[in-house]
Structure 1
Amino acid sequence: MVLTGPTAVGKTSLSIKVAERLNGSIISADSMQVYKKMDIGSAKIMTDEMCNIPHYLIDVLEPWEEFHVARFQQMAMEAIQDIYQKNRLPILVGGTGFYIQAILKDVDFSGDSGKSAFRQELEERARAGGSDELYQMLKTEDPVSAENIHPHNVKRVIRALEYYHETKSPISLHNAKEMERESPFCYSYFVLNDRREHLYERINQRVDQMMEKGLLDEVKYLKSLGLTSQMVSMQGLGYKELLSYLDGNISLCDAVESIKRNTRHFAKRQLTWFKREKNVVWIDKSKYDYDEDAILNQILRIWEKRTSNRNGEYHDD
């Protein structure tokens, strides 16, 4: 099962209830919760909140380690096998759509190992002058990918440029072909959603709560360990903005407002991604008056129908 949706929509608490009812184990499909020492900014579930449900890919890497979709895929596939061996249901929970796709479509990343000289050159250019120049290159060579990659996502911009350099073909074409692959799994894909104004208010409130819980101190500690804005982990929402404040580039008030704005934009991009996915069941929280038990029962009802008729589709009409 996949349980996803935009950031702050309420996936975590619902996933626990789903796992309890279906004898499930949870695999985090999140690019930040994999890191140790990064609890507040990643909205990481704490041990006492897990209700004895096994969780995978949470707190397994140090924040200075590299983490990317190919590594996620390898670790998640190993977790899935372990869960199956224990006769439990693997439940992918998180908002990183590309990670979810990498599992469901068994995307081939075999050509993405190692660091080419061209990639190193692009990384140096990004360090020296930022990502704008590279993004303009991508818009020229692969405008479709440029539409789907945020200008500040340096890692993905570089990968797209590297792929074009190596193959003379846009990575967007490669990704489109990967999307058509048959999945090795029988699965149900649920997207939890909410009214935009309500979701955005939840995002703003959560950022305020993170600051109250000590997000600034968390970033100060990470900075004291030598972590910089060039590291993958510190590109996460909340971390990069507060690091910019600590580096003297912006005020604290501006940093907090940037976190809220960037998180809202991120939620919008997440929803755009999920709308492109096929065979997805959308669950609108407002339709159930925000009653989590009613939402849970609907998910279970759809799950039972789809598992009893694996070739059929079900729409939450």
Structure 2
Amino acid sequence: MSIKLAKKIDSAIISADASQIYKELDIGTAKITSDEMQGIQHYMIDVINPDEDYSVGDFEKTVNNILNENGEKNEKNIIITGGTGLYIKSITDGFAKLPSKNAKIRADLESKSIEELQKILKEMDEKSYTEIDLSNKLRLVRAIEVCILTGGKFSELRIQNIRNNNYEFLKIFLTRNREELYERINKRVEIMIAKGLVEEAKKVYNKYTESLYKISSIGYKELFKYFEGKITLDEAIDEIKMESRRYAKRQMTWFKKEKNYITYNLSEMSEKQVLDDILKKWEKF
């Protein structure tokens, strides 16, 4: 849909997908191919290696540079598309200026277990403990690191936002009825497996053995467990489906809470109807 819209309004596209910024993670992130781009310029895809650190702050800085440069030249409309709510919010609503990462603190925290990190975060910032994904080691490390470096609470500091662009945004949220959405997610995973996700994940597993814990994208971390002999391939595929459904549920919760989004349900409207309506709203906007 973003491609069709981009053609209609002469727009470039910025991906707001926290997994598609990584090189080599192609099938499992359903990364757009150059053929699928149909000549539309895309930004923020294949930015870094999968074991490199990348934060919302890095995304916010790079994307605002793209937007502001584009604005100065008065070149094009821009579509930001993707499902990483925090990435999108950092651009539309602004972003808190949190301290840069500290190698010494980070190394110390990364040597601890997930359970130890959860305990530390709960003691330092209970609100963050209730809000973030407690199974994501990188998120835990970052939240604790900010608490240590600032003496404040990550949950409070991360909402003190400064917006670094002069754009206005027409915000669109696409959804489907839950049953249909989950069915499509399960089918999507099966398509990824058929396209060679297991083989792609194995290459990543062999190449980044020492830093696999940094690769937390759905579709890869589950297969890593299979390669380690902890679960069967069928169990890994079931876990990918389950984690993808959970992620979709979290996305729905996130975007329903956000302000000023126009919601379209593609279980109830055709893609053409949605596109036509977006274009009408865009003209007024």
TM-score interval (norm. to shorter): over 0.9
Aligned positions of 1:18-57 closer than 5 A: 18-57=5-44
Cα drift, residue 270 of structure 1: 1.3
Q: Is 2:252 the counterpart of 1:265?
A: no
Hey, what's the Cα distance between the residues in 1 that align with 2:46 and 2:82?
A: 15
Aligned to 2:198: 216
Aligned to 2:75: 87
Segments of 5+ residues of structure 1 without an aligned counterpart are 1-13, 308-317
Aligned to 1:175: 158
Hey, what's the Cα distance between the residues in 1 that align with 2:175 and 2:164?
A: 26
The farther-off stretch of 272-281 and 212-221 is: 272-281
Aligned positions of 1:51-90 closer than 5 A: 51-84=38-71, 85=73, 87-90=75-78
Number of matched residues?
284
Matched position secondary structure for 1:190 = strand
Aligned positions of 1:136-175 closer than 5 A: 136-175=119-158
Deviations 1:266-312 (A, max 9, x none): 11111222122111111111231xx211110111122223x2xxxxx
TM-score of the superposed pair, with normalisation by structure 1 = 0.83
Hey, what's the Cα distance between the residues in 1 that align with 2:271 and 2:265?
A: 11
Aligned positions of 1:87-166 closer than 5 A: 87-109=75-97, 111-115=98-102, 117-125=104-112, 129=113, 131-166=114-149
Cα drift, residue 95 of structure 1: 0.6
Cα drift, residue 48 of structure 1: 0.6
Segments of 5+ residues of structure 2 without an aligned counterpart are none
Hey, what's the Cα distance between the residues in 1 that align with 2:164 and 2:267?
A: 33
Matched position secondary structure for 1:287 = coil
Q: Is 2:285 the counterpart of 1:303?
A: no
Deviations 1:190-244 (A, max 9, x none): 1111111111111100001100000000011112223456453x21000000011
Larger RCO: Structure 1 or Structure 2 (Cα < 8 Å, ≥ 6 residues apart)? Answer: 1
Aligned to 1:292: 271
Hey, what's the Cα distance between the residues in 1 that align with 2:92 and 2:211?
A: 31
Cα drift, residue 134 of structure 1: 1.2
Hey, what's the Cα distance between the residues in 2 that align with 1:46 and 1:247?
A: 30
TM-score of the superposed pair, with normalisation by structure 2 = 0.92
Hey, what's the Cα distance between the residues in 2 that align with 1:37 and 1:86?
A: 34
Matched position secondary structure for 1:236 = coil
Hey, what's the Cα distance between the residues in 2 that align with 1:283 and 1:227?
A: 42
